[in-house]
Structure 1
């Protein structure tokens, strides 16, 4: 077994152990806190915050994927080519405004909670997925397109049976980038009362508890690495399946 796989399995095992039984790690964090201060965040369970964090990121990423891929499909069809500049402008909105600014604008309309965070993550995740989907759909070899037309496939059949499957590894790379960005960005959602791991980090910053800050940061970092590696493995699998390598 490769050393990289062993390290990642060890990270996964430690992450699961800490999320399920955080108090068993209290001796490790105790030196980082003042006497009488709890070394482990207990106001809300780490497990519930982690699941809520992943749910928000997952939902926002799914919405961004559906919208961005749909937009890429639209502008790569003959009837939608003229909308490409507008589509790029829409996809760039999230990158133009910082997530904090989006939260500030969304709170008056949606109130505090998960809603503003979902809006910010959705907008912030559009660009990498859209650009990768656009690249994947426009970089197919002309011979492949001609062969699919020659077999009598309809436009929908070519899209669903040839273009999207061949573009999938590239699209997945965009989703990977979007998911990892959203995973870290979601922590700021706790500033508007969204239930994310940012709650642990903010509690640590407010109380001067370094252990809390480290706990929240380590969980988010470990999740980002594992999700990134998971997508990379999926991309390689799909590339092999589609004859990409």
Structure 2
């Protein structure tokens, strides 16, 4: 099987990223020209691999929490009994987009202290909107013939939701999760301003010491992770869309 050029480039990026995280010293000649006054070319205040894993863990926890809440709200407001709560639900999920992440961190620190918790709160709030809106779109744009047929065969509301609606809406829901993950990957870097262990440590260390090599390392790791995860989730969406037989376009 012949691989396309974009696929080859993604594989190369993944291999380079893993190699850099495992043995960053191999790449010292690449970053040396970006340093001044014999400053270290490779981040030396912690393990890049550890920071990357912690960064991903923070994003994962926040995304799972946002998915549970946003999907739950979308299911609620698409049921006859919960339709009246749609305006309130939209207002709730828009809270995270109302305040800048730095403001959310500033408000959260006095309540929960420094560390990962305020970062999780900020990422959770920022991740709600895309997941909620895509879940709402997926659940409200299903083919009427399918939903009517499920009622015709005597399925209960729970059976229709779990066997028909959610499986068919899953590609669109996953598109919202993909957007949320990418946003969280970038936003999580600011968590280091409140002592969260993320790749923001590398960027902040570079800014404080005027070391462009550190800034570039942190930025490149986050950027490559975002592209690879985005592409992986996009591929999964296409697979799910083919399986469900939907021809509708995925929300981007």
Q: TM-score range by the shorter chain?
A: over 0.9
Question: For 2:166 and 2:100, how far apart are their aligned partners in 1?
Answer: 31
What residue is the counterpart of 1:121 in the other structure? Answer: 123
| TM-score, normalised via structure 1 length | 0.99
Question: For 1:141 and 1:244, how far apart are their aligned partners in 2?
Answer: 9
Task: Give the match's secondary structure for 1:39.
Answer: coil
What residue is the counterpart of 2:226 in the other structure? Answer: 224
What pairs up with 1:1-245 in 2 under 5 angstroms?
1-245=3-247
Question: For 1:66 and 1:137, how far apart are their aligned partners in 2?
Answer: 15
Task: Give the match's secondary structure for 2:196.
Answer: coil
Question: For 1:239 and 1:142, how far apart are their aligned partners in 2?
Answer: 18
Deviation track 1:224-243 (CA, whole Å, cap 9, x = no partner) reads: 00000011000000001111
Kindly state the Cα deviation for residue 35 of structure 1 after the two structures are TM-superposed: 3.1
Question: For 2:18 and 2:153, how far apart are their aligned partners in 1?
Answer: 50
Question: For 2:99 and 2:38, how far apart are their aligned partners in 1?
Answer: 42
Q: Which runs of 5+ in 2 are unaligned?
A: 248-252
Question: For 1:165 and 1:29, how far apart are their aligned partners in 2?
Answer: 47
Deviation track 1:112-141 (CA, whole Å, cap 9, x = no partner) reads: 000000000000000000000000000012
Question: For 1:13 and 1:241, how far apart are their aligned partners in 2?
Answer: 30
Question: For 1:35 and 1:83, how far apart are their aligned partners in 2?
Answer: 61
Q: Which runs of 5+ in 1 are unaligned?
A: none
Kindly state the Cα deviation for residue 8 of structure 1 after the two structures are TM-superposed: 0.4
Question: For 2:36 and 2:86, how far apart are their aligned partners in 1?
Answer: 57
Question: For 1:220 and 1:205, how far apart are their aligned partners in 2?
Answer: 16
Question: For 1:144 and 1:222, how far apart are their aligned partners in 2?
Answer: 40
Question: For 2:86 and 2:37, how far apart are their aligned partners in 1?
Answer: 60
| Consecutive aligned runs of 4 or more in structure 1 exceeding 6 Å deviation | none
| TM-score, normalised via structure 2 length | 0.96
Task: Give the match's secondary structure for 1:41.
Answer: coil
Task: Give the match's secondary structure for 2:154.
Answer: coil
Deviation track 1:186-224 (CA, whole Å, cap 9, x = no partner) reads: 000000000000000000000000000000000000000
